[in-house]
Structure 1
Amino acid sequence: MRQADFPYLPKDFIETVEGLIFAVVSYHPHQQKIGCFLRYVQNGGQWQKIDTEQANRLLGRHYPQYLFKSKQFDAEFHAVKPADVTVHHQPERCLKTLLERPAHDKIEEKCHRLIEILTGYGVDTSALGLTGSMLIGQQKKGSDIDLVVYGRDAFYKTRLAVKQAIAEQQLSSLDISLMKDNFQRRGGSLNFDEFAWHEARKYNKAAIDGTKFDIGMVSLPEEVVVDHHHYMKQGISTLKAVVIDDKQAFDFPARYLIDNEMTPEVISFTHTYVGQAQKGETIEVAGAVECDSASGQRRLVVGSTREAVGEYIKVCKEL
């Protein structure tokens, strides 16, 4: 699953000597560096989670070597040389270790039970990993369980297992409190009702005994789309179109092909809009227009920052 020459995958965490933990966001090296975003910093001997704005400010002041401007994607993110990585936190190893020992807290107990339930519905645990706060042992009482599923087939099987387990009351849909918490973290530019309607039909989030869990897909090497295009940003745009292909709706980044000749592709780099629309649905999209400098072909990108302020994908429902 991991390439020997570049063993880094999205949803991994990498730790540097300065006490910084970055979340890996790219399958490929960028000028021999690992594409990532700073997520945790050491504060009084504890890991503190920070947002994109805080991360950029901290790196700009103290660690500018980790700021990165991609010429290919005309985008700014963070990047770390493999030589600067002191610990490579890998989700599949983390989950294996957790399952091989007794649980240390209530969240780990729930994670054990969750894996048992999913296994009962045919999910192969060798395709799963554990990311988020649990990957670095920083979970708290109210933490979520963030599962990684490696490979598109395994992801859709896991998603179906979640749907079946909810139907048979082994797991629960998000209640109003958990949905509101989810909305406050990720709601972005949709109102609560819009956000909740889209989320409820994805089956990539549910709850076990009041704790929210999430399943996120990481592609296998043969599933990764290699993008050699050179993109230039051309401002923000909004359009409406019909989705004609949703096969990569849960990928990272999520991709939707639409019936718009000028802009035939919508890409989302933010988890909020993964699995947001299905084939045949009309969507409204606001995002950054990018143009391939060679072919002139355009695409619309949602999630130029993690918070994706002012950018969204929503299904146009009939009244």
Structure 2
Amino acid sequence: MELRAREGDFIETDEGLIFDVKGLIHPPERVIAYLRYYPDPNGHRIRDRIRYKKVYSLDSRYEYLKSRYPLYLFHDKISGERLQGIPRKYIKSIFHPEGLMKKVLQRGRNVEQRKMSILLQKTFELAKLIQSQSGINFNKIGITGSFLVDLETDESDIDLIIYGSRNANIVKKALTTLHSSHQIIIHPYSEKNISDLYEARGKISNLQFDEFVKIEQRKKLQGVYKETDYYIRCIKDWNEIQYKYGDVYYKNLGIATIQGKIIDDTESILTPCKYSIETSKVIDGIKITEQIREIVSFRGRFCEQAQKGEEIEARGKVELVRFENEEYLRLYLGTYNEDYFKILNL
């Protein structure tokens, strides 16, 4: 049986390295996934008496693998880029968010709930609240992040995942309602929360603090539930994927800063998120004659970033996309720390 892995899953290798899977489409011989935890005697996270460290920045992940485990770096012929990926023969275990939700759901129905940590109980409570408000099936909700590999701490966030585009839209509407009807327990980030976020990523995003606050506070897939930060990732379900690895090719044309108008934000809540744009123009970087059709990113911070009708400015990598008999340009965000995406008429 073919091993299937998708965004939100985690993979453990024979060496004990733990990676988080990126995307739903992978090469035949590898799974594209990025290092998240590695064994280290000085680590603050413990699982099965082994200490682990969490690695955050993309640069740090690449440097660690380059110096110690270069076999998990490869040249991807589809994108022409160096990516992180696990050869399938080195996969020891794969962890699925929907599988953890199934276990937690079972515990919640009996006395084993007492064995759940307070934070895991809170995660389950939020999942139940969303399911009750939205009406989607529980098997389309998963628990991901550090909980999935038993490496959470008391400071961990709540990380949920929703499967299916239709379910994602239903959940966003449910969260919009909950932010009003249950605002005492679930609400957008406070200015203090956002101040911390701004220190971590906003200052390099070319956004002023007041711009950053406005954008972050109108997002529904992230916020605070009972004083714990939550983030909900939404991905397409397996039956929505209409192509396989090798059907689409990408060519890096260079870096550009563009301006344009959002004409479709339907997939802005998904990972990868996508925004269709029109009247795009390059204001800095490489010179191109064709219009850029869309903005795409796998980074969660660019989800729900802009809405239909808004004028935007973004900096990222311009790619030529070849799919079947068609070619077009897109702007890909997230490869570089300097990439940003802001609203001009907010």
Does the pair score TM above 0.5?
A: yes
Residue 77 of structure 1 aligns to a residue whose secondary structure is: strand
Give the structure 2 partner of residue 164 of structure 1. Answer: 177
Q: Of 262, 277, 296, which residue of structure 2 is paired with 1:258?
A: 277
Shift of 1:282: 0.9
Shift of 1:85: 0.9
Contact 1:123 1:161 (C-alpha < 8 Å) held by counterparts = no
Which TM-score applies when normalising by structure 1? 0.91
1:245 alignment partner AA: D
Change over 3 Å in CA distance of 1:183–1:129 after alignment to 2: farther
Residue 92 of structure 1 aligns to a residue whose secondary structure is: helix
Give the structure 2 partner of residue 216 of structure 1. Answer: 233
How many pairs does the alignment contain?
312
After TM superposition, list the pairs within 5 Å mapping 1:49-88 onto structure 2. Answer: 49-51=54-56, 52-88=58-94
Distance (Å, rounded) in 2 between the aligned partners of 1:295 and 1:151: 26
Give the structure 2 partner of residue 181 of structure 1. Answer: 196
Runs of 4+ in 1 over 4 A off after TM superposition: 293-296
Residue 25 of structure 2 aligns to a residue whose secondary structure is: strand
* Residue 298 in structure 1 maps to residue 298 in structure 2: no
Shift of 1:225: 5.4
* Residue 141 in structure 1 maps to residue 154 in structure 2: yes
Shift of 1:24: 0.4
1:129-157: per-residue Cα shift (whole Å, max 9, x none)?
01111111111111100000000111121
Shift of 1:242: 0.8
2:76 alignment partner AA: S
Q: Of 93, 114, 130, which residue of structure 2 is paired with 1:118?
A: 130
1:134-189: per-residue Cα shift (whole Å, max 9, x none)?
11111111110000000011112112222211101242222223323333444341
1:54 alignment partner AA: S
Give the structure 2 partner of residue 241 of structure 1. Answer: 260
Give the structure 2 partner of residue 286 of structure 1. Answer: 315
2:174 alignment partner AA: A
Residue 250 of structure 1 aligns to a residue whose secondary structure is: coil
Distance (Å, rounded) in 2 between the aligned partners of 1:77 and 1:14: 16
1:203 alignment partner AA: K
Q: Which ranges of structure 1 fall in alignment gaps of 5 or more residues?
A: none
Distance (Å, rounded) in 2 between the aligned partners of 1:296 and 1:120: 43
Change over 3 Å in CA distance of 1:70–1:270 after alignment to 2: same
2:302 alignment partner AA: Y
Distance (Å, rounded) in 2 between the aligned partners of 1:218 and 1:292: 21
Q: Which ranges of structure 2 fall in alignment gaps of 5 or more residues?
A: 42-49, 108-112, 281-289
Q: Tell which deviates more after alignment, 161-170 or 64-73.
A: 161-170
1:179-220: per-residue Cα shift (whole Å, max 9, x none)?
233334443413433222112222001222100111101211
Q: RMSD across aligned C-alpha pairs, in angstroms?
A: 2.0
Distance (Å, rounded) in 1 between the aligned partners of 2:23 and 2:128: 30
Identity %: 28
Distance (Å, rounded) in 1 between the aligned partners of 2:147 and 2:200: 18
Which TM-score applies when normalising by structure 2? 0.84
Change over 3 Å in CA distance of 1:186–1:137 after alignment to 2: farther
